Structure 1
Amino acid sequence: MRSELGQFRDKQFGVFTAQQVRREYTRAELRARVDRQEWVRVFQGVYREAAMPPTPALRVEAARLSMGLPFLAACYDTAAELHGFSVLDDQLTHVLGGQVSRSRRLIVHRDRIDPTELELIQGSVATNAARTAVDVARTANRMDALATLDLALRRGLSRAELAFEVAKQVGRRGRRQAVELIELADHRAESPMESRTRLQCIDAGLPHPEPQVEVRTRDGLRRIDLGWRHWRIGLEYHSATWHSGPAAALRDNPRHNWLTTDGWTIYYADAPDVYHHPDHFTEPIRHAMYRG
């Protein structure tokens, strides 16, 4: 990349505009680099190098340049990415503003915002952590909303901060959901899928499971993703990465053998069950509780 354009890129979180390109390149050179996939269009008139990852800061800056604004703030899940508690993979970019976006990947929200609810994080302006978490909790589907709240608590946000923020949002769409899920949120959840699994158990009418249950067995201290101590029942979420391959049995089998020996019954859930067939694990657990 030629020197002047490289300077623009370095000051702009890795993006540059077509107008900046044309200071040192012809239109034909720009098209050639895009056609060869050396440069990737982020939003209208704004590009990044193919090797440059599309971080939230990069996408927000690209949105600002594309919209020709001096200032732009991230919100909703893009702000959650910046704060480190996003659980989504959709790569949409959410910003506050009054313009209409011409890109399906750029969502402009016309929400009312108090300047005190904005902060600088990773060099980008975004809604603060409490406002962000509550906005996502109001608008995301229930499983993603709870997973976001769990992770926000794990990252250091307090339940009191969430309660204070949601109290300010009277009349806003989805506030009732946010209020409900803030009460259910738990910092002990160690993954978004554990959070989603826990909510499916609650929505099925089971007693609320305890996350990361510690059980002292004759083989040492063991932990279960979710558990009901009264019934000595545990529920493990099986991810494709951790619970697969030849090492999985070496990790899981001895642990579960000791739990079974000590009177625990362990059930399992995977992603298809959690998203589409929660009864595959909630009903066997319900029947086991009734038998107990």
Structure 2
Amino acid sequence: MRAQLEGLRDKQFGVFTTGQALIEYTRAELRARLHRGEWVPVFHGVYRETTTQPGPELRVEAARLSMGLPVLIAAYDTAAELHGFSVADRNATHVLGVQLSRSKHLVVHLDRHDPAQVATINGISTTTAARTAIDLARTLNRMDALATLDAASRRGLSPDELREELTRHHRRRGLRQAAELIQLADCRAESPMESRTRLRCIDAGLPHPQPQLEVSTPDGPRRLDLGWPQHRIGLEYDSIAWHSGLHAAARDNARHNHLTTEGWTIFYATALDVLHQPELFTDPIRRAIDHHRVESKGR
């Protein structure tokens, strides 16, 4: 890349416009690089090099340049990426603005905001962590909304901060859902799927499980994704990443055996169960809890 355009690219998080490229390249050279795949479009009239990863900073800057604005504010999922608590892979870039976008990859939200709800991360303007968390808690489905609040709490947002931010969203859709889920948010959850699994248990009417429950065994402490210590029942989310590999079976079997020896009953849930068939694990857990209660009364 020629020197002047390289300097502009480096100041703009790895992107550049058609007009900037044409300062040093002819239109034929621009088309040739696009045809060869050396440069790729991000948004209308804005490009990146193929070797440059399209992170949130790059995408927001590309959106700003494409829209011809001096400042653009990241919001919703894109803001969550910047704050470090995004829980879903999204194809779109979300920003606040006054004019809708024609691109399915750029979503412009016509939401009102005040200066106190705007922060700067790595040179990019974005809604604050609290504003972002509440926006998503209002608008995502329940499982993703709780996963977002758990992740935001893990990054340091307190329930009081979330409740205070909620008061600024008067009459916006989803307030009831956000208010309910703030009460359930727990910073101990270590993954979005653990959060979703926990919500499935709560929605099934089970007693609220404790995330990342530590259990003492003769072989040392063992940690369960979710647990009901009063009933000695645990629930593990079967992540493919964790429960695969050469030593996974031996590790998991030994762990299960130690817990069973201590009188624990362990259940398992897969992604398919959590997303589509939660009764496959919530119903057996309910029966086990009922059985434990009956046994306890009979003693």
Give your verdict on TM over 0.5: yes
Q: What's the C-alpha RMSD, in Å, of the aligned pairs?
A: 0.9
Segments of structure 1 that go 5 or more residues without pairing to the other structure are: none
CA distance in 2, matches of 1:289, 1:116: 47
Partner of 1:8 in structure 2? 8
Partner of 1:267 in structure 2? 267
CA distance in 1, matches of 2:271, 2:47: 36
**What is the one-letter code of the residue matched to 1:96?**
L
SS at match of 1:189: coil
**What is the one-letter code of the residue matched to 1:68?**
G
CA distance in 2, matches of 1:159, 1:39: 45
- Conservation of the 8 A alpha-carbon contact between 2:77 and 2:90: no
Q: Offset at 1:187? A: 0.1
CA distance in 1, matches of 2:285, 2:105: 41
Partner of 2:26 in structure 1? 26
**What is the one-letter code of the residue matched to 1:176?**
R
2:152 is the alignment partner of 1:140: no
Partner of 2:296 in structure 1? none
CA distance in 2, matches of 1:10, 1:157: 33
In the TM superposition, 1:252-263 aligns within 5 A as 252-263=252-263
- Please give the per-residue CA displacement for 1:233-285, whole angstroms capped at 9, x wherever unaligned: 10001111111122212321111100000000111111111111111111111
CA distance in 1, matches of 2:145, 2:247: 33
- Equivalenced residues, count: 292
Partner of 1:232 in structure 2? 232
Q: Offset at 1:61? A: 0.3
Partner of 1:203 in structure 2? 203
Partner of 2:284 in structure 1? 284
Segments of structure 2 that go 5 or more residues without pairing to the other structure are: 293-299
**What is the one-letter code of the residue matched to 1:186?**
D
Partner of 1:35 in structure 2? 35
Identity of matched residues, %: 67
TM-score (norm 1): 0.98
CA distance in 1, matches of 2:243, 2:9: 42
CA distance in 1, matches of 2:200, 2:100: 37
SS at match of 1:59: helix
Partner of 1:57 in structure 2? 57
- Please give the per-residue CA displacement for 1:42-63, whole angstroms capped at 9, x wherever unaligned: 0000001111111111100000
CA distance in 2, matches of 1:162, 1:248: 39
Partner of 2:297 in structure 1? none
Provide runs of 4+ in structure 1 moved above 4 Å. none
Q: Offset at 1:99? A: 1.2
Q: Offset at 1:22? A: 0.8
- Conservation of the 8 A alpha-carbon contact between 2:211 and 2:227: yes
**What is the one-letter code of the residue matched to 2:187?**
H
CA distance in 2, matches of 1:194, 1:110: 33
2:67 is the alignment partner of 1:80: no
SS at match of 1:193: helix
In the TM superposition, 1:115-264 aligns within 5 A as 115-264=115-264
CA distance in 2, matches of 1:102, 1:27: 25
- Please give the per-residue CA displacement for 1:107-147, whole angstroms capped at 9, x wherever unaligned: 00111100111011121000111011000100011111101
CA distance in 1, matches of 2:90, 2:80: 13
CA distance in 2, matches of 1:116, 1:167: 14
CA distance in 2, matches of 1:170, 1:238: 39
SS at match of 2:216: strand
SS at match of 2:61: helix
Partner of 1:110 in structure 2? 110
Q: Offset at 1:179? A: 0.3
Q: Offset at 1:65? A: 0.2
Moved more, 248-257 or 145-154: 248-257
TM-score (norm 2): 0.96
